[in-house]
Chain A
Amino acid sequence: MSTDITTAVPAPPAGPSAMQRLLGLNLVRSLLVSLGVLVVGVLLLESTDAYTNTQLSSLTYFTIAAIGLTALTGLNGQISLGHGALMAVGAYTTALMLDTDSPLPFPVIALAAIVMTSLVGFVVGIGAARLHGPYLAGATLAFAVALPSVALYFKGTFNGEAGLTVISPRPPEWFVSFIDAVSGEFATSSKYVAYLGLFCLVIALFFALNLGRSKIGRHWRAVRDQEVAAEIAGINLGRTRVQAFVISAAYAGLAGAVMAMVVRLAAPTVFTLVLSLSLLTAVVIGGLGSITGAFIGSAVLVFLPPLVTDLSTDAKLSDTQAAQMSPLIYGIVLVLVMLLAPGGVMGTLSMAWRRRRARRQLTATPTKKG
Chain B
Amino acid sequence: MTPPIEPDPQPSPSGGEPRPHDPGRPASRYLAQGVTVRFGGLVALDDVSLAVEPGQVHGVIGPNGAGKTTLFNVCCGFVKPNAGSLTWDERELNNLHAHDLAGLGIARTLQGVGLFPGMSALENVMTGAGVRSTSGFVSAAFGLPRARRDEQALQERAMQTLSDLGAAHLAPRYPGMLPYPDQKKVALARALVSEPRLLLLDEPAAGLSEGEMDELGDLVQQLTSRMSVLIVEHHMDLVMRICDQITVLDFGQVIARGTPAEVRDDPKVIAAYLGAEVSAGEEIDTAVLESHGTTTKGA
**Residues of A bordering B, CB below 8 Å:** 1-7, 9-10, 24-30, 207, 209-211, 213-216, 218-219, 221-222, 224-226, 228-237, 243, 354, 358, 368, 370
Show 16 residue pairs from A and B whose CB-CB distance is below 8 angstroms, ordered by the A residue.
Answer: A1-B219, A2-B164, A4-B166, A24-B148, A25-B145, A209-B143, A215-B150, A222-B127, A224-B118, A225-B115, A230-B116, A231-B97, A233-B127, A354-B174, A370-B170, A370-B185
7 A-B pairs besides A221-B116, A233-B129, A236-B97 with CB distance below 8 A are: A1-B181, A1-B215, A5-B164, A24-B148, A25-B143, A27-B148, A243-B137
Q: Give chain A residues whose Cβ lies under 8 Å from the Cβ of B117.
A: 225-226
In the bound complex, what is the Cα–Cα distance between A162 and B170 (angstroms)? 60
Contact indicator B160/A10 (Cβ below 8 Å)? yes
Give the Cβ gap from B86 to chain A, nearest Cβ, in Å. 16
Contact indicator A2/B166 (Cβ below 8 Å)? yes
Contact indicator B142/A210 (Cβ below 8 Å)? yes
Give the Cβ gap from A67 to chain B, nearest Cβ, in Å. 13
If the complex has contacts A225-B119, A232-B110, A370-B182, are A215 and B140 also in contact, measured as CB distance less than 8 A? yes
Contact indicator B127/A218 (Cβ below 8 Å)? yes
From A218, A236, A237, residue with most partner B Cβ within 10 Å: A218
Q: Which residue of B lies closest to A224 (CB)?
A: B118
In the bound complex, what is the Cα–Cα distance between A107 and B212 (angstroms)? 60
B165 within 8 A of A: yes
In the bound complex, what is the Cα–Cα distance between A237 and B97 (angstroms)? 11
Contact indicator B130/A219 (Cβ below 8 Å)? yes
Q: Which residue of B lies closest to A365 (CB)?
A: B169
Q: Give chain B residues whose Cβ lies under 8 Å from the Cβ of A10.
A: 156, 159-160, 163
Q: Give chain A residues whose Cβ lies under 8 Å from the Cβ of B99.
A: 231-232, 234-237
**Residues of B bordering A, CB below 8 Å:** 76, 78, 97-103, 107-108, 110, 114-119, 123, 126-131, 133, 135, 137, 140-145, 147-148, 150-151, 154, 156, 159-160, 163-167, 169-170, 173-174, 177, 181-182, 185, 190, 194, 212, 215-216, 218-219, 222-223
In the bound complex, what is the Cα–Cα distance between A216 and B119 (angstroms)? 14
In the bound complex, what is the Cα–Cα distance between A5 and B156 (angstroms)? 15
Q: When the two chains form the complex, which single residue of B140, B156, B169, B177 contacts A211, counting CB atoms closer than 8 Å?
A: B140
Q: Give chain A residues whose Cβ lies under 8 Å from the Cβ of B131.
A: 233-235
If the complex has contacts A7-B164, A228-B114, A368-B169, are A233 and B190 also in contact, measured as CB distance less than 8 A? yes
In the bound complex, what is the Cα–Cα distance between A218 and B190 (angstroms)? 14
Q: Give chain B residues whose Cβ lies under 8 Å from the Cβ of A214.
A: 140-141, 143, 147, 151
Q: Give chain A residues whose Cβ lies under 8 Å from the Cβ of B185.
A: 1, 370
Q: Which residue of B lies closest to A370 (CB)?
A: B166
Q: Give chain B residues whose Cβ lies under 8 Å from the Cβ of A235.
A: 99, 127, 130-131
Q: Give chain B residues whose Cβ lies under 8 Å from the Cβ of A25.
A: 143, 145, 148
If the complex has contacts A26-B147, A234-B99, A234-B101, are A226 and B114 also in contact, measured as CB distance less than 8 A? yes
In the bound complex, what is the Cα–Cα distance between A9 and B127 (angstroms)? 19
Contact indicator A226/B219 (Cβ below 8 Å)? no
Q: Give chain A residues whose Cβ lies under 8 Å from the Cβ of B223.
A: 5
In the bound complex, what is the Cα–Cα distance between A211 and B144 (angstroms)? 11
If the complex has contacts A1-B165, A27-B142, A225-B116, are A233 and B160 also in contact, measured as CB distance less than 8 A? no
In the bound complex, what is the Cα–Cα distance between A7 and B170 (angstroms)? 19
Contact indicator A230/B140 (Cβ below 8 Å)? no
In the bound complex, what is the Cα–Cα distance between A219 and B108 (angstroms)? 18
